[in-house]
Amino acid sequence: MSPFNISGQRIKQDKSNTKVEEMTGSNLVRNKTRTGNYFEDFRIGMRIRHATPRTLTDGDRSLYIALTGSRDVVASAKTVSELVGLAQHPMDPFLVFNLAFGKTVPDISLNAVANLGYADGRFLAPVSAGDTLRVESEVIGLREVSNGKSGVVYTRSTAFNQHEKEVLTWVRWVLVQKRDPLAPPVSTLIPQLPSCVGSEAFAVPDYGPGVSTVPSETGSQDFWEDYEVGERIDHPSAMTVNESDHSTATRLYQNTAKVHFDLQLMSKTPAGKRLVYG
């Protein structure tokens, strides 16, 4: 169950290969610092089992509402989830995505310069309080950028529950720094990705007849036939993001990317401040 790459070699998944040994007074500084993977550490087909599985609870449900103000009626009210025929009270899917995404950061994007895109994200099974998620990723594409300082890593990540059932999958590509600008170039592979997820791929629960009562619980007067392709909808309720809000969210998701946390570090960057999670 340890992380091995496809050749059966153990992956130094979140530990620099560069030995950092120096004397500080009489004490030895050893190589236990997790510095994350750099671009040249990735190989096509490499599979990573991410650390720290996470049990979701109703505490996460409340915190997600407190962080977002979400009024997703099924996640908000157990009575409504029962009305629509669900056996368990599901979590907000974006809470699940954020938690699963956070698991991939220590291995994939601790040295990221920029998060570039997502594709083919699919929610495959509902997640409820008490379920435990673990996440695996496979490197499906690599492309070094022209200045030789970094490269794009494409990964397919999948979250599993405690019954080894897939609950969520997505592709992400991210610009990752090279440790050594002189590292030899890797072979380039840009994966083919769908431009959208077709409705045939949707995992729609088997709703009961009570689903027809949901509009009275949401208060919405807009139905399927009221929407059309290309329509624009104004959402005027703006929300200012406080520093503590995004720090708290990022910690809840156990996301370890330091750009979200270290003001001293980030004050030296062009942004001059911490980045908001997302």
Q: Interface residues for a copy of itself in 2-21 (CB under 8 A)?
A: 2-3, 12-15, 20
Q: Which of residues 62-91 bind a copy of itself (CB under 8 A)?
A: 62-63, 65-71, 73, 76-80, 89
Q: Which of 106, 126, 141, 151 binds a copy of itself (CB under 8 A)?
A: 106
Q: Is 268 a residue that touches a copy of itself (CB under 8 A)?
A: no
Identity (one letter) of the amino acid at 154?
Answer: Y
x/- mask, a copy of itself, residues 172-201, rule CB under 8 A, reads: ------------------------------
Q: Is 233 a residue that touches a copy of itself (CB under 8 A)?
A: yes
Q: Is 213 a residue that touches a copy of itself (CB under 8 A)?
A: yes
CA–CA separation, 106 vs 257, rounded Å? 7
Closest CA to 94 of 118, 113, 78, 115: 118
Q: Are 250 and 99 within 8 A, CB to CB?
A: no
Nearer to a copy of itself, 206 or 234 (CB): 234
Q: Is 232 a residue that touches a copy of itself (CB under 8 A)?
A: yes
Q: Is 240 a residue that touches a copy of itself (CB under 8 A)?
A: yes
The structure tokens listed for 136 are 């695996």
First-to-last C-alpha distance (Å) of the chain: 30
Closest CA to 5 of 32, 34, 52, 45: 45
Q: Which of 195, 199, 216, 225 binds a copy of itself (CB under 8 A)?
A: 216
CA–CA separation, 105 vs 40, rounded Å? 17
